[in-house]
Structure 1
Amino acid sequence: MTVSSDQFEAFPLLLHLRRIDPARNMRRYYRMAIRSDLFGKASLVREWGRIGSRGQVLVETHSDEGQAVNALMKLARAKQRKGYTF
């Protein structure tokens, strides 16, 4: 059985959010990605900052990919409540 590359994943492994408000001179981004490491654990890599700048990076290590996806989804919901969009 082969898996088509056109098939969507049930859980995202990469999210890119933006918050743009010209009235407040706000142009921000928030990027999250799940990566596996050499030890069988999963890392949630978070990057944020002003659009056009390098920004900051934070890496959170989780014991498995499921926990990393849960953390990603929880952060995505929190960012959406603050006004970030996909």
Structure 2
Amino acid sequence: MIAQSYQIYVERIDDRKNMARFYAMSIEPNLFGEACLIRRWGRIGAAGQRREHHFAREEEAVRLFLQLLRKRRSRGYRPKPPVRQAEIADR
């Protein structure tokens, strides 16, 4: 069983390089109760790719989660700013 929810969605956008990427991770239990780190990445607006890592212990999944998050942050990925309700109403 997963003690705490782990989810992150980050983006890296650079118009000069025509770059619009996303990277998402979450830790979820699999059918056997083990921790499963699910990663998705690709171009924003596309389906992208997916990879799953299965661990016997949640701590191992969290360790990889944090390691991968540090790597993405060092490469310029940042959390997507939240959409304000006023912006949605203006559309």
More helix by share: 2
Identity across the alignment (%): 38
Where in structure 1 are there 5+ consecutive unaligned residues? 1-10
- Aligned pairs for 1:4-15 (under 5 A) are 13-15=6-8
Corresponding residue for 2:26? Answer: 33
In structure 2, C-alpha distance between the alignment counterparts of 1:53 and 1:39, rounded to whole Å: 31
In structure 2, C-alpha distance between the alignment counterparts of 1:80 and 1:32, rounded to whole Å: 13
Where in structure 2 are there 5+ consecutive unaligned residues? 80-91
Change (3 A) 1:34 1:62: same
Pair 1:59-2:27 in alignment: no
Corresponding residue for 2:86? Answer: none
Task: Report the residue type matching 1:55 in the other structure.
Answer: G
SS at match of 2:46: coil
Q: Give the CA RMSD over aligned residues.
A: 1.2
Corresponding residue for 2:16? Answer: 23
Instruction: With the length of structure 2 as denominator, give the TM-score of the two structures.
Output: 0.79
Aligned residues, how many?
76
Instruction: With the length of structure 1 as denominator, give the TM-score of the two structures.
Output: 0.83
* Runs of 4+ with deviation above 3 angstroms: none
